[in-house]
Amino acid sequence: MKKLLLFTLLITSLSGYKVKVGENSPELNFTLMDGTPITNENLKGKVVVLQFTASWCGVCREEMPHLESKVWQRFKNEDFILIGIDLKEKPEKVKRFIEQMNVTYPFTIDGDGSLFESFTLPNAGVTRNIVLNKTGEIIFLSRLYEEKEFNQMIKTIDAALKKS
């Protein structure tokens, strides 16, 4: 039992997450850049992707066009939302970043990093996608951008949308 606990702790620390698949999402209470309030309660009934990003992050920039074309454009007319969450940057910079990346999914700014830190261990890297099912349970966690893992995330989203 001790070995299993140690293994679980090691895997969690390597991933940088303090949350796990199967757990409910930490509290969500923020406002999108367009003024729309977001809470755990008003996300119920939707499959949600929380994409943590920043303008200075090269891997984020590599991944974002794929999120736009293969995730947002594919699922946006279903019970689905993809939310870009920019980490600790000023609104003007984030607006320029969104325009440069040519993405249309909604964004918010995690000004103090507290939203990010509700999911991650201290000093975790920023390129992350967290998928929640319609009841707010974490069903997928990713780190960095890797095509095979990204495609698995898409399959997970698709399967979650098909569940009633």
Q: Which residue positions in the chain have pLDDT lower than 70? A: 1-14, 164
- Which segments within 21-127 are labelled E, that is strand? 29-31, 37-39, 47-53, 80-87, 107-110
C-alpha distances in angstroms, 125 versus 54, 90, 95, 96, 135?
A: 10, 19, 22, 22, 27
Quick one: which of 141, 127, 121, 129 has its CA closest to 9?
A: 121
Q: What is the DSSP letter of 69?
A: I
Confidence (pLDDT) at 11:
43
> What does the alpha-carbon distance between residue 120 and residue 158 come to, in Å, rounded to a whole number?
25
Confidence (pLDDT) at 114:
94
Quick one: which of 110, 106, 90 has its CA closest to 35?
A: 106
Two tokens, residue 108: 């918010």
What pLDDT digit, counting tens, does each position of 70-102 carry?
A: 999 999 999 999 999 999 999 999 999 999 999
Confidence (pLDDT) at 6:
39
Confidence (pLDDT) at 9:
40
